[in-house]
Amino acid sequence: MPAESLFDNAACALAVTREDGTIVHANQRLSDWLGLSAVELHGQRFQDLLTMGGRIFYQTHLAPMLRMHGSVTEVKLDIRHRDGHKVTVLFNASQRQQTDGVVYDLALFGTTDRDKYERELLNARKLAEALLQEKTATEVALHQAQAELSQAYAIAQQRALFAEQMVAIVSHDLKNPLTAIRMASDFLRRGEHSPKEHQLLGHIGQSSERAHRMIADLLDFTQARVGQGITIRAQPLDLHSVIDRAVDELRVTFPKATLVHQAHGHGDACLDADRVQQIIGNLVANSVAYGDLQQPITIASRLSADGSEVSVHNYGAAIPKALLAGLFEPMTRGPHQGSDVRSVGLGLYIVRELARVHGGDVAVSSCATQGTTFSVKFQAGTPRPA
């Protein structure tokens, strides 16, 4: 293909100008971009085809650079179409020496697609910067929220510790006057009294016994939470006899309930007798609170080569499944508790802790037809240290 044909059909706009910018040759692409024929372009100065700003820039920068360096590459300019609209191009030029003087070879590239790409790139960059700023602000807010949450948690822990310590102090201080009340009521019951007086003394004894259990649970709770843990003194014992004595005492405490003790098996057990009685007392109190007192509450003690076990069974409404998972957590109480049996919701928690400190654990099963059974199993051997 002849060079002239390549020049005229090039994919970019081409022109040759004299040193003063006069166009001596232009291809069809430049004619199309400007709306001017090759004849109309011939003889015009290239800089006169630019916008006013482009003309000034050409005179002050491009022309001197071409004279000094001999070339210019990728300078963005706006040329004017004959109907007045602007066409943005990338201006490239190089100096060429001919026999009759210096000429400049110009190559102009359209920037429509490039401008679109650059705008999209700029928009994407702005969006990325906005997202980064939003992410940074979110992280700052998150760190601040975490710091505030940690501070609030530390304050809550301090308050909880203080409250538990206060409970321990108050519970301990209540033991002495309560013991005096119990001793006084026991002493008064020895004399002769009217039926009404006997009834009142019975109420005093039952109320003081209930208060004694509540204070004991509170002391054990605070010992387990803020102290060194619940302590025991395990030694060999006759488990059946210990449970039998505990049941006899509970019959006095809960006169409306029918308590039945069942003993199974033979063998030795190494346990803390007082703590085992406390376990039975808490489980029986729970059965009295939630069970059907028209039917007996059965307390069973079992001995075998694998260890020992005590259980308390009562009839009545089944424990809802939603409550079973957290039943042994502190401050947990079931619905419809009788108004005559007060509780702070620590009984089953204390049972679990006492079982664990003995090296055992507690379990519960409950259904509407078979009733509810709490079982505490102790492993054979010496309990783990408290």
pLDDT per residue of the chain (386 residues) written in tens, 0 to 9: 566 778 888 889 999 999 999 999 999 999 999 999 988 999 999 999 999 999 999 999 999 999 999 999 999 999 999 998 999 999 999 999 988 889 999 999 988 766 677 778 888 888 888 889 999 999 999 999 998 898 888 887 776 665 566 555 555 556 567 667 767 777 776 777 788 777 777 777 767 776 777 777 766 666 666 666 777 888 999 999 999 999 998 998 888 999 999 999 987 889 989 889 989 999 999 999 899 999 999 999 999 888 899 999 999 899 998 888 888 887 666 655 444 444 557 788 889 988 998 989 999 999 989 999 999 999 876 555 44
Of 21, 77, 81, the closest CA to residue 45 belongs to 21
Answer whether residue 324 is part of any domain. Answer: yes
Domain annotation covers residue 294: yes
Cα–Cα nearest to 25, from 2, 6, 47, 43: 43
**Total number of domains constituting the chain:** 3
Strands 259-264 and 297-304: parallel
What CATH number has the domain bearing residue 29?
3.30.450.20
User: Looking at the structure, do residues 199 and 235 belong to the same domain, yes or no?
Assistant: no
* Of 184, 211, 238, the domain-final residue: 211
Both 268 and 352 in one domain: the answer is: yes
Same domain (yes/no): 234, 375: yes
Provide the residue range defining the domain that includes 271: 230-379
CA distance 282 to 325: 19
- Token couple for 383: 């309990």
What are the beta bridge partners of residue 309?
Answer: 302, 377
Asked if residue 128 belongs to a domain, the reply is yes
Rounded to whole angstroms, the Cα distance separating 219 from 237 reads: 25
Distance CA(140)–CA(121), nearest Å, equals 28
Alpha-carbon gap, residue 41 to 244, rounded angstroms? 123
| 386 lies in some domain | no
Q: State whether 76 and 161 are in the same domain.
A: no
Q: DSSP character for 152?
A: H
Domain match, 90 and 13 both: yes
One domain, residues 290 and 331: yes
Rg (CA), the chain: 49
Give the alpha-carbon dihedral of 106, 111, 112, 116, to 10 degrees: 180
171 domain residue, yes or no: yes
Judged on CB neighbours under 10 Å (0-12, 13-18, 19+), 237 is: middle
Rounded-to-integer distance, Cα 224 and Cα 330, Å: 11
Are residues 301 and 189 part of one domain?
no
Say how far residue 382 (Cα) sits from the centre of its chain: 41
